[in-house]
Structure 1
Amino acid sequence: MSQQLKEQVSYSNQLIADFEKVIATPKKSTTGIYYTGVDLGTSCIVLSVLNEKRQPVAGSYRYANVVKDGMVVDYLGAIQIVTQLKEELEEKLGEELRYCAAALPPGTQTLDSGVIQHVVEAAGFEITALLDEPTAANAVLNIKDGAIVDIGGGTTGITILENGQVVEVADEATGGTHFTLVVSGAYGIPFEKADEYKRNKKNHKELLPVLSPVIEKVSSIVNHYVEPYQVKEIYLVGGTCCLTGIETIIEKKTNIPTFKPENPMFVTPLGIALNCTQEIL
């Protein structure tokens, strides 16, 4: 691992570790300035809050089914959850959270950007940025060359960068939902129970062989998009990548060194918050 890569990984892991701490114990900003990121994920909605120095000060998340394949399917439910999370954090911080940024999967800008904006505005935010998820993730990863693979609840998003520029963006309908369906079928348990079982790290060693075929399918999707480019490194983000050992299988199937932060679930939410400003759209 190069020195530059070590520094990138160290920064990402430290930022995420700091965020995990303030989820449990929020820290008030001395200036009262806050920047919020709203991540409307397929299986989880995350609010991340930074102070004026772009340091994590608070956060909250809730598992939900208001988004499917990157598209909001329960508009009122999404507003209700974002509103509740916002109010909970405001009570802990003793301040109004006014400004926020949000993001959406690549390729859905023309279809869903208005809905995302309406959700966060209906929850009481003033939106200052609406960006694609890979751009948000890269605010944390700081990649100039390589592929960001975002395995979310409904889709796998792939972004290829060369010299700091995005040269390819794709989104395929294979993600955590498919992993959960495999667990549900293999163990004969309801989808909700299978999802909980999958998220428990204690079960990951047992589940890895069961889920290997789905991981290999993701790997084949990644291979398809990286093949035309000279991709030397793959970076994993998204809640599904929390599965212990997923990076080993993807690296083996793609033949490309594959890395992931210690908690890839929070990369995109933090990147969204890093893109928040005080200039309203």
Structure 2
Amino acid sequence: MNKQALKECNQFIADFEKVIKKPKKDPSTIYYTGVDLGTACIVLAVLDEHFKPVAGAYRYADVVRDGMVVDYIGAVEIVSELKAELEQKLQTELLYAAASLPPGTDELDGGAIKNVVQSAGFELTNLLDEPTAANQLLNITDGAVVDIGGGTTGISIIESGRVVKVADEATGGTHLSLVLAGAYKFSFDEAERYKRNEKHHDELLPTLKPVIEKISSIITQQISGYTVKGIYLVGGTACLKNIETIIEKTTGIPTFKPLNPMFATPLGIALSCTDQVLK
């Protein structure tokens, strides 16, 4: 990823962060929504007819576990509420949405995610795996996009602009929170909240380093046999300060992450949205 591409990616995320606080109400002939049903957080990203960010909303929730919808009603309620909130702010109806799921879980859970999005009132136009979705924003032609979510780490290996392998392993932010809860004698929810506060990241890194190294070993194992010259981190867990430094040191491969990795996947999902309903 060259400096210009990273700069453009960071600018897109920065623009999205601005419209979360202050939506753009300029009329658009069509709106494209990305729905990211994460283990720790549900994010909706809305783009206009020119595929520029106009609004967004997110909510921390516990309706998905290890990439699987475990509270279907709760998931529908949250997506419906966020949709209604954004529609009120934009003074329009949001019709079309794309969604994503961890690599390799399509047969197990693709139907559930599809049903959540449709039950919330959207017409689903695309369903793709998370790291491939994130690459709609990153535009990597060669390398590995690694989506470190709450429950899982998804890896998409890209060669000459083509996805040649996707994989998913059940290690992510949840495991960091469990280690933190044990070390600090916190409840799991307390550990989650403590971990999200960037002020604590320098202090937490030594405690969390073994789990990050485990994630690094998963990446190394999954990319074995492929020529990967760069690793690109996305997902909420990648927000942890200096996680990229540990992964780069452990894998021996240059590792990068955008401005706010939590928003890369939902924005990539939105960029993959169309007005053609998925059959």
Class of the TM-score when normalised by the shorter of the 2 chains: over 0.9
Q: Does 2:36 match 1:42? A: no
Instruction: Tell me, yes or no, if the aligned pair for 2:144 and 2:155 is still in contact at 8 Å.
Output: yes
Alignment match of 1:90 (pick from 83, 87, 90):
87
Query: Match of 1:167?
Result: 164
Query: Match of 2:147?
Result: 150
Query: Match of 1:101?
Result: 98
Alignment of 1:6-25 (within 5 A): 6-25=3-22
Aligned residues: 278
Query: Match of 1:55?
Result: 52
TM value normalised by structure 2: 0.98
Q: Which moved more, 1:196-205 or 1:132-141?
A: 132-141
Instruction: Tell me, yes or no, if the aligned pair for 1:29 and 1:51 is still in contact at 8 Å.
Output: no
Secondary structure of the corresponding residue to residue 181 of structure 2: helix
Alignment match of 1:190 (pick from 173, 187, 191):
187
Amino acid at match of 2:50: K
Alignment match of 1:247 (pick from 208, 229, 244):
244
Amino acid at match of 2:158: L
Take 1:108 and 1:227, find their aligned partners in 2: how far apart are those partners?
22
Q: Map Cα deviations across residues 53-100 of structure 1 (whole Å, 9 max, x no partner).
A: 100000000000100111101000000000000000011111011111
Let me know the Cα RMSD of the aligned residues. 0.9
Query: Match of 1:133?
Result: 130
Take 1:259 and 1:191, find their aligned partners in 2: how far apart are those partners?
29
Query: Match of 1:116?
Result: 113
Alignment of 1:260-275 (within 5 A): 260-275=257-272
Q: Map Cα deviations across residues 216-265 of structure 1 (whole Å, 9 max, x no partner).
A: 00011111112211111000000000000000000000000000001000
Amino acid at match of 1:164: G
Alignment match of 2:276 (pick from 259, 274, 279):
279
Deviation beyond 4 Å, 4+ runs, structure 1:
none
Amino acid at match of 2:220: N
* Aligned-pair CA distance for 1:32: 4.3
Take 2:4 and 2:18, find their aligned partners in 1: how far apart are those partners?
21
* Aligned-pair CA distance for 1:211: 0.4
Instruction: Tell me, yes or no, if the aligned pair for 1:32 and 1:95 is still in contact at 8 Å.
Output: no
* Aligned-pair CA distance for 1:29: 3.5
Q: Does 2:216 match 1:219? A: yes
Instruction: Tell me, yes or no, if the aligned pair for 2:72 and 2:116 is still in contact at 8 Å.
Output: yes
Take 1:92 and 1:12, find their aligned partners in 2: how far apart are those partners?
25
